[in-house]
Chain A
Amino acid sequence: MQKQKAVEVRGLCKDYGDVHAVQDVSFDVYQGEIFSLLGPNGAGKTTTLSTLSCLLAPTGGDAFIMGHSIRGDSMAVKECIGVVPQEVALYPDLSARENLSFWGKMYGLRGAGLRQRVDEVLQIVGLNNHQKGRVDKFSGGMKRRLNIGIGLLSRPQVLFLDEPTVGIDPQSRRSILDSVIEFNRQGMTILYTTHYMEEAQELSNHIAIMDHGQLIAYGTHEELVKIVGELDRIELTINAESQQVLERWRATEGVHKVSAEDGKLTLLVDDSNIVLPRLFEAAVQAGVRITAIAITEPNLEAVFLQLTGRALRD
């Protein structure tokens, strides 16, 4: 049986004057799956999500959420979705319960139904014991959880999560990732943006990689990794900055890509066992010393490097 599309994006564009924040982006998200938009900061992930959630009007193309056009039927779209923005968007002077109650009303919930749903969401995000506490007294992790809880209030068919784990401790991050898996297990379709490769890899059925407002790759994790084929990824650290060694490595046989960003050197090579001695030799000739080395299997980071010539770091 063919899966139904929950999100259908067709040639989506968003321009700010001469700046093309999103350029001709198209992809599909099927019902019941977790779909990740992966890319560095400034890639256009948040703009894409803001357009899909009807916060921004597209300057080209269209998208359909559960069959409703974001251009022609934005109210129906908003009734289908829950949005968790990247930054915490809460009222600091109100308590957790007051926040949830207010946002629930904005989704049309009232009376006993609202109270029951607020209780459920407080349970889901683990804030029942802090429901009367003012949000400005909450820790960063608690605010993040409440931020996610608001997105769940309307029992959305599609949940948009925009980099929900940025800037939080590993424990809270793990808790959020487990929650996302649980929401999906209960049948919720999830569109998740991140610049953490490992999150996209762990969570997603399908991944789209974005850079400079464009979709540069789309598929399952396995499909994407095949883009880099059998290439190995080597991370190197050298004792001094040297343009000469980069030139020598680029010219070395078996080296496909060399990226130098933030003091880290990343290379895609055919077979690390064969290429590594050549890299050491070139380093000696350039007068630098290799101080650290790491070899990894092909992954999404390698895919990004292969496609853009840059590392997926920030």
Chain B
Amino acid sequence: MAWQLRSALEIAIKDLTVYSRSRFIWAMMLVAPLLIAGLIYFAFSGLGSSSGGFQVPVTRVQVANLDQPTAQSGGFSAGQMLVEFLQNDDLAGLVQVAVASDEASARSAVDTHASDVALIIPANLTTAVFALDQEAAIVLYQDPTVTIGPGVVKGLVENYLDSFSGGKIALGVVARQLSERGMAVDNTIVQNTITQYAAWIQSLLESRQAGDYPAMRIQSPPGKAVAANSLADLAGKILAGQLIFFAFYTAAATAQSIITEEEQLTLGRLFTTPTPRTTILSGKFMGVFLLVLGQVLVLTAVSSVLFRIHWGQPLSVLMAILGLVAVTTGLGLFLMSFVKNSRQAGAVFGGVLTVLGMAGGLFTAANEGMPRAFETIALLTPHGWALRAWKLSLAGADARAMLLPVAVLLVMGAVLFVGGALTFRRRLS
């Protein structure tokens, strides 16, 4: 028994050695699925940004801060706060801020294209913040050939000024209520109110930049909340479809080695050695199994790094891998048992596997809005069940949730394997 197992393993190792020298196998196993998934991934991620969005060029801003706080503001400077807000590290990807000594040099920087935008903060900005009856205007001096950058700066400044508008409204309400109660509004009260409001505004801006919206709850449909990174989620589904398609393809292509051995007469010669026929066939299938297993392991590992795909819980991923490898090996063997020669095998690859892949939903793996009938048809194919198992794993399903699809895959694989093995035995006897 041990001798037979070892002989089967030797046959599998020989086959793996032969496969490793085939450029076609390498291309089909690893290059093609990664290439297709990569192309789709980058197509969906705009200009190739890893952040998943449109890349905005950094706008160069010259700030001339002319703000002169009065003693009434108690050291608080709205102009300085605006400069610090724009110089925040979180905005470094949008604006590059330099402080100019005066208004003329800031404007000159724009005129000489050394800067895209000049921001002139008026001398009475802080005063206007504290005084209910005063107004101040910030000047945005921009290069007319640049469009997006000034818009970004304008939006940021407006956002900032809106906060102070709210502060002034709050100050007005406070002053009116104190006045109604017969209390005078002194500088200390004004200063405290503005300072507290400014602090609140600053913390609000920071929390927004961190993606936290106190007045909003961002939610996804039930069961799909796990995929926080939508691009990685999309890439995961696409690659799952490609991985399954090419795993079936690899299994069929390598199961074809039985036909090849028959044609190059080595199979007949093997049958004249003291190695039993069942051991020889087992060795051939072991080779297919090991190759597909290696392919799936490499693809999942590489895609985790390249596309940041989280394939799911380790046990669930392992179950999905086992189910896929079992069913691909079974189907590869089953198909090849009916193929008469290598030429016919090409038609099987091109035809049967592609049709089954389409019916199984492998090419629409990322589309969640498919008609129910399509999903039903998909479950008539091993491809559809394999995709279901991998999607569940991607969605973070635990081992219990994986049991049904994986069990179906294992049963399908076993039935196809037995059917193929019997056909081969009858054919080779």
B-contacting residues of A (Cβ < 8 Å)? 50, 53-55, 57, 75, 78-79, 81, 83, 85, 87-94, 98, 102-103, 105-108, 150
Contacts and interface: CB of A to CB of B under 8 A. Distances in A.
Given A78-B274, A87-B265, A105-B10, 10 more contacts: A54-B272, A85-B265, A85-B269, A91-B266, A93-B21, A98-B17, A103-B269, A106-B7, A106-B270, A106-B273
Which of under 10, 10 to 19, 20 to 34, or 35 or more describes the interface residues of B?
A: 20 to 34
A81 B265 contact: no
A57 B274 CA distance: 16
B429 A57 contact: yes
A99 to B, nearest CB: 9
A55 B270 CA distance: 9
Contacts, number: 60
A134 to B, nearest CB: 9
B403 to A, nearest CB: 40
B274 A108 contact: yes
B199 interface: no
B145 interface: no
Given A105-B7, A106-B7, A89 B273 contact: no
26 contacts: A50-B268, A53-B272, A54-B272, A55-B271, A79-B274, A85-B269, A87-B265, A88-B265, A89-B264, A89-B265, A89-B266, A89-B268, A89-B269, A91-B14, A91-B266, A93-B22, A98-B17, A102-B10, A103-B269, A103-B273, A105-B7, A105-B10, A106-B7, A106-B10, A106-B273, A106-B275
B276 interface: yes
Given A87-B265, A93-B22, A108 B272 contact: no
Contacts of A106: 7, 10-11, 270, 273-275
Interface string B179-216: 00000000000000000000000000000000000000
Contacts of A90: 264, 266
Interface in B267-291: 268-276
Contacts of B275: 106
* Most B C-beta atoms less than 10 A away, residue of A81, A88, A102: A102
A150 B265 CA distance: 14
Q: Which 3 A-B pairs have the closest CB atoms?
A: A89-B265, A106-B273, A89-B269
A40 B281 CA distance: 35
Given A87-B265, A90-B266, A106-B7, A78 B272 contact: yes
Given A89-B265, A106-B7, A83 B18 contact: no
Contacts of A98: 17
Contacts of B7: 105-106
A98 B18 CA distance: 11
A81 B22 CA distance: 33
Contacts of A91: 14, 18, 264, 266
Contacts of A81: 272
B273 A78 contact: yes
B10 A55 contact: no
Nearest to A88: B265
Contacts of B269: 83, 85, 89, 103, 150
A78 B3 CA distance: 16
A100 to B, nearest CB: 12
B265 A93 contact: no
Among B14, B269, B273, which residue has the most Cβ atoms of chain A within 10 A? Answer: B273
B426 to A, nearest CB: 13
A85 B268 contact: yes
Contacts of A78: 272-274
A258 B14 CA distance: 55
A31 to B, nearest CB: 20
Given A91-B14, A91-B18, A107 B271 contact: no
A28 B418 CA distance: 42
B17 A94 contact: yes
Given A89-B266, A105-B10, A55 B18 contact: no
A75 B271 contact: no
Given A98-B17, A102-B10, A55 B274 contact: no
B133 to A, nearest CB: 91
Contacts of A87: 265
A31 B113 CA distance: 102
